Homo-oligomer: A and B are copies of this chain.
Amino acid sequence: MHGALNQLPEVPVLVADGVITDPESAKGRLLGASASLFKQKGFARTTVRDIAAEVGILSGSIFHHFPNKESILLAVMSEAISLALARMHKAVEGEQDVVKKFRALVRCELEAIHGFTGVGFTLLSSEWRYLSEASQKEVLKLRDEYESFHRSVYAEAKAQGLIAVEPFFLRHFLRGALAETGHWFHLDGNYSLDELVEQVCLTAALPK
């Protein structure tokens, strides 16, 4: 299945650093099951009984690992964004060519959206409203880091005259456009991820 999260080289490192939970631990399996259920049915329609059944325990046992239902969503989201951050930096490290960096960032985000790194990333936008204000603030720090890095690369591209839009606008447009691919683009369909990246760059009239 898609959720073979441990095959990603970044994961063991992040687990060791205490940034994310070991996917094979009891808590980690709960997070994985929760994430996939939240994606399927949405946070509000997923019950703690659903989650418990998915991992084969009783609903009350969940609260040995988490204080309440919302904290599960918080954990899913913050771990998803942490993993995305790590992969984002790795995707462009050592690269000088701005167009190549742009492509790498787009591809990296699309990989996150389409389940290469677990299903949590898409929840960041679709289930955002179910986080309390305090939790939103917590995740926002990581999101800001992610967003501003994207903008900085777009700014480079603009400085070199490769694009005409303001980086601020482009980032918002691109985030929306890429997130939306999660609702219509399927890897088993007629197009590959590379072709999707290509069409994105074509839209922005970026050179090869």
Q: Footprint of B on A, CB under 8 Å?
A: 41-42, 44-45, 125-126, 129-130, 163-166, 169-170, 172-181, 183-185, 196, 199-200, 202-205
Q: Which of A126, A178, A202, A203 has the largest count of B CB atoms less than 10 A from its CB? A: A203
Shortest Cβ gap from A121 to chain B (Å): 15
| Minimum CB distance partner of A172 in chain B | B184
| Minimum CB distance partner of A163 in chain B | B203
Interface pairs (14), CB distance under 8 Å: A41-B129, A44-B44, A44-B45, A163-B203, A164-B203, A165-B203, A169-B203, A172-B180, A175-B180, A176-B177, A179-B180, A203-B203, A203-B204, A204-B204
Shortest Cβ gap from A181 to chain B (Å): 7
Number of copies: 2
Residues of B within 8 A of A174 (CB): 177
- B181/A176 in contact, CB under 8 A: yes
Cα–Cα, bound, A172→B182 (Å): 10
- B176/A178 in contact, CB under 8 A: yes
Q: Which of A129, A166, A176 has the largest count of B CB atoms less than 10 A from its CB? A: A176
- A199/B42 in contact, CB under 8 A: no
Q: Which of A178, A185, A199 has the largest count of B CB atoms less than 10 A from its CB? A: A199
Residues of B within 8 A of A178 (CB): 176
| Minimum CB distance partner of A169 in chain B | B199
| Minimum CB distance partner of A206 in chain B | B205
Cα–Cα, bound, A109→B63 (Å): 45
Cα–Cα, bound, A189→B46 (Å): 37
